[in-house]
Homo-oligomer: A and B are copies of this chain.
Amino acid sequence: MGKLLIVGTVAFDAIETPFGKTDKILGGAGTFIGLAASQFDVDAAIVSVVGNDFPDSYIKLLKDHDIETAAIEVVKDGKTFFWSGRYHNDLNSRDTLETQLNVLADFQPKVPDAYKDAEVVMLGNLHPDVQLQVLDQMSKKPRLAILDTMNFWMDNTPEQLDEVIARVDVITINDEEARQLSGEYSLVRAAEKIHQMGPAYVVIKKGEHGALLFHKGEIFFAPALPLKEIFDPTGAGDTFAGGFAGHLAATGNYSFENMKNAVIHGSNLASFCVEKFGTKRIEFLERDQVNERLRQFKALTQFDITLA
């Protein structure tokens, strides 16, 4: 059972999709990553910040998933980070309606002593300076540092982002972001350029079109599980990252072969995430359901062509 240190937002989301809308519900990258990682045999902690408006029941929900929440700072008289968005009809694109940074604006992450030697560090999408502060607080170099980020930081804090990228082993970004970061249209060429920026492993997320893992000229691909209905894509990328990190921390095997399995586990959990609003589906996952869907992934992708 490896230690997994997660830094990421624990927050409120308000979501509109073609199928309905929510009031403020539990959201945030750290939340989705933590819930996904809790499916594995890991000792996980989230470093984050919330306001005093954040319900105890949400913290309890994380604790009930055996996630260490002591490093989720509660700012008195502060308000929790809030994001609101509306998805277009195809669910592939969305508009941000509102972003209230609130307590996130002055967030100073504090890594708990017990997790300063975590084998795996998962840096959820946040200001690169916060991600750097987490890496700086580690007492020893993690076996695997994983970075998730987005175009906002490429646009606004490129130097700090480059510094984080240079210090991690794995980066997970979407296809458009990979193109923006590298200046290359071909994802194969984009991954080559991003390798040169630091990460030995590059994961490019393509949403409903699956995810690619690149390493030293080798490529692995995991499709998204074809679903009858996609209800709400919010958190799918973070759930993918949480499953990926969780599997690696639980097995302690950081080989490329095992990283392929981690990509499948991440894709598998993401396929649940999109079935209900927010965290609702991944809060209540049974091991049998997860395994049944892993079987579907095998049926979906495995074939038997024998070559001499």
Residues on B with beta carbons closer than 8 Å to the beta carbon of A257: 304
Q: Is the CB of B228 within 8 A of A189?
A: yes
Q: Which residues of B contact A218 (CB under 8 A)?
A: 299
A228 and B299: CB pair below 8 A?
A: no
Interface stretch among A107-115, A155-163, A205-213? Answer: A205-213
Flag whether A303 is at the interface (Cβ < 8 A).
yes
In chain A between 228 and 279, which residues have their CB closer than 8 angstroms to a CB of chain B? 228-230, 257, 260-261, 264-265
For A185, list chain B residues within 8 Å (CB).
90
Cα A100 to Cα B294 in complex, Å, equals 50
Contact of A223 among B210, B226, B260, B297 (CB under 8 A): B210
Q: For the complex, give the distance between the alpha carbons of A75 and B209 in Å.
A: 45
* A57 interface residue (CB < 8 Å to B): no
Q: Interface residue count for A (Cβ, 8 Å)?
A: 40
Cα–Cα, bound, A294→B302 (Å):
13
Q: Does A305 contact B (CB under 8 A)?
A: yes
Instruction: Give a binary string over A291-308; 1 marks a CB under 8 Å from any B CB, 0 the rest.
Output: 100111111111111011
Residues of B within 8 A of A99 (CB): none
Task: Encode contact with B along A190-223: 1 for CB under 8 Å, 0 otherwise.
Answer: 0000000000000000100110100000111101
A165 CB to closest chain B CB, in angstroms? 21
The answer to whether B261 touches A304 (Cβ under 8 A) is yes
A188 adjacent to chain B (CB < 8 Å) = yes
Contacts of A223 in B (CB 8 A): 210, 221, 223
Closest B residue, CB atoms, query A212: B226
Contact of B305 with A221 in the complex, beta carbons under 8 Å? no
User: At the interface, is chain A mostly helix, strand, loop or mixed?
Assistant: mixed
Most buried by B among A189, A218, A303: A303
Whether A186 sits at the interface, judged by CB under 8 Å, is yes
Cβ of A101 within 8 Å of any chain B Cβ, yes or no, is: no
Tell me, yes or no, whether A227 is within 8 Å of chain B by CB.
Answer: yes
A25 contacts partner chain B, Cβ-Cβ < 8 Å: no
Task: List the B residue with the shortest CB-CB distance to A187.
Answer: B226
Residues of chain B within 8 A (CB-CB) of A302 are 301-302
Cα–Cα distance between A227 and B192 once the two chains are bound (Å)? 12
Residue numbers in B under 8 Å from A219 (CB-CB) = 226, 296, 299-300
Report whether B186 and A221 are in contact in the complex, using a CB–CB cutoff of 8 Å: no
Contact yes or no, B301 A301, CB < 8 A? yes
CA distance A300 to B257 in the complex (A): 11
Task: State in angstroms the CA–CA spacing of A264 and B291 once bound together.
Answer: 26
Q: Which residue of B lies closest to A228 (CB)?
A: B188
Is the pair A209, B212 in contact by a Cβ cutoff of 8 Å?
no
Jot down 16 A-B pairs with beta carbons below 8 A, ordered by A: A186-B226, A187-B226, A188-B226, A188-B227, A189-B228, A209-B210, A218-B299, A220-B301, A221-B301, A223-B223, A260-B304, A265-B305, A295-B307, A297-B305, A301-B301, A301-B303
For the A-B complex with A261-B303, A261-B305 known, give 7 more contacts whose Cβ atoms are closer than 8 Å. A219-B296, A220-B299, A221-B301, A261-B304, A291-B308, A298-B305, A302-B302
